[in-house]
C-alpha cells in the first residue's frame, strides 16, 4: 500500500468520479485508475462499485475511507511539524555553560535568541567545563560553552573561541584584604585559606595547577561547592577563591583583587560534537553567539 494510492482513493471517494479525481490530484486519469486497481489487488477487495457509470464505495471502501483520511491527515501534520522546525518556529536547544557564562554572557544572548525565535525551548545546564565536555560526548547537549584547552580524554569536538576571561581573587569585604591590599600574585595565595570548587570545575584544576607551579599546595578550608556556594562561603569569611572577573565584580559583601605578575586567564569556546551536526535551532543560536 502506497501513500499516493490512498491519496487517489480518497479523491475518488469524495468526487465519486475518476476523471474529476484525477484532475484534483494532478495526475492522468489512466494512471489514477491503475493505482486504484493496484490498491484493490493489494487489499484483496474492490473499493468501488462501478455499475452503469455510477461510482459508489463498497463495504471495503467504506471501511478504508476514514483510515485513509487519518493517514493522510497524519502525514500532513508531520509535514507541517517538520517545516515549522526547519523554519525555527518550534524545537529546542540544549545548551551547557559554565556559571560565569550563565551570569555574564548568556542572558543578553538568550534574550535576543528568544525574541527572534519564541517557539524554541531553551534548556540550560550549568556546570563545570569538564562535566560539560562529558555531557557533549554522551549526546545530552547540543552545544556547550567550555574552557580551552580540551582535556586529553575529550571526544572529538568542534570548537570556536569566543572570549578570554581574566581570573581574580575574591574575599570577604568584612575582613582585611588578602596580601598587602593591592594586587596579588599566585605565590601570595600560599598563606591564604581557600574555598575550592568541587571536582569537575575547570577553575579548581586551573587554580591548583597555578599554585603547584609556584611550588606549593593550596590550603582548603572548604571544598566541593558550586559557584554560588563558593561565593557564599567566601562572603562568610571562610577563605578566598579564584573566580572569573565577570562573576566577582559588583557582588555585595565581596572584595575583588586582581592577580599580578602572570595573571590567570581562561579561554571560553563554543563546542559541539564533530560527528553529529547540531539541530537547526542550535545552529542559529551558535550564529548569534559567535556573532
Q: How far apart are CA 70 and CA 74, in angstroms?
A: 6
Residue found by looking up cell 568584612 in the block:
174
Residue-range domains of the chain with CATH: 3-68 (1.10.10.10), 81-163+268-290 (3.40.190.10), 164-263 (3.40.190.290)
Give the angle subtended at the CA of 199 by the CAs of 196 and 205, to the nearest 5°. Answer: 70
Phi, psi of 91 (to 5 degrees): 135, -165
pLDDT at 81: 77
CB 122 within 8 A of CB 114: yes
pLDDT at 181: 62
5 in Cβ contact with 36 (< 8 Å) = yes
Give the global pTM.
0.72
> Which pLDDT score is estimated for 210?
93
Q: Using CB atoms within 10 A of its CB, is residue 275 exposed (0-12), middle (13-18) or buried (19+)?
A: exposed
pLDDT, tens digit, 9 for 90 and up, residues 195-253: 999 987 889 989 999 999 999 999 999 998 889 999 999 999 999 999 998 888 888 99
pLDDT along the chain (291 residues), means of 10: 93 94 95 96 93 87 95 88 79 92 90 94 93 91 94 86 93 88 84 92 91 95 92 96 88 92 87 91 93 81
The number of helix segments (H) and strand segments (E) in the chain equals 11, 11
Amino acid at each position: 500500500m502506497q501513500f499516493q494510492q490512498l491519496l487517489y482513493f480518497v479523491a475518488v471517494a469524495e468526487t465519486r468520479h475518476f476523471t474529476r479525481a484525477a484532475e484534483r490530484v494532478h495526475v492522468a486519469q489512466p494512471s489514477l485508475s491503475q493505482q486504484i486497481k493496484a490498491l484493490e489487488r493489494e487489499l484483496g477487495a474492490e473499493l468501488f462499485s462501478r455499475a452503469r457509470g455510477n461510482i459508489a464505495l463498497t463495504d471495503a471502501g467504506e471501511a478504508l475511507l476514514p483510515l485513509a483520511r487519518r493517514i493522510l491527515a497524519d502525514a500532513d501534520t508531520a509535514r507541517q511539524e517538520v517545516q515549522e522546525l526547519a523554519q525555527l518556529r518550534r524545537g529546542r536547544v540544549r545548551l551547557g555553560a559554565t556559571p560565569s557564562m550563565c551570569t555574564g554572557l548568556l542572558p543578553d544572548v538568550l534574550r535576543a535568541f528568544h525574541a527572534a525565535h519564541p517557539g524554541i525551548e531553551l534548556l540550560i545546564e550549568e556546570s563545570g567545563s569538564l562535566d560539560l565536555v562529558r555531557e557533549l560526548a554522551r549526546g545530552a547537549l547540543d552545544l556547550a560553552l567550555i574552557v580551552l584547552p580540551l582535556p586529553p580524554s575529550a571526544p572529538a569536538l568542534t570548537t570556536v573561541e569566543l572570549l578570554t576571561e581574566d581570573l581574580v581573587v575574591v574575599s570577604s569585604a568584612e575582613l582585611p584584604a588578602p596580601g598587602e591590599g593591592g594586587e596579588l600574585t599566585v605565590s601570595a595565595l600560599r598563606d591564604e585559606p581557600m574555598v575550592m570548587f568541587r571536582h569537575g570545575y575547570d577553575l579548581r584544576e586551573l587554580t591548583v595547577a597555578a599554585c603547584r607551579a609556584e611550588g606549593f599546595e593550596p590550603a582548603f578550608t572548604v571544598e566541593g561547592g558550586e559557584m554560588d556556594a563558593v561565593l557564599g562561603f567566601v562572603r562568610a569569611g571562610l577563605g578566598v577563591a579564584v573566580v572569573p572577573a565577570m562573576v566577582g565584580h559588583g557582588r555585595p559583601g565581596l572584595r575583588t583583587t586582581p592577580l599580578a605578575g602572570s595573571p590567570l586567564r581562561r579561554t571560553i569556546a563554543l563546542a559541539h560534537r564533530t560527528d553529529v551536526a547540531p539541530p537547526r535551532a542550535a545552529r542559529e543560536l551558535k550564529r548569534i553567539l559567535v556573532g
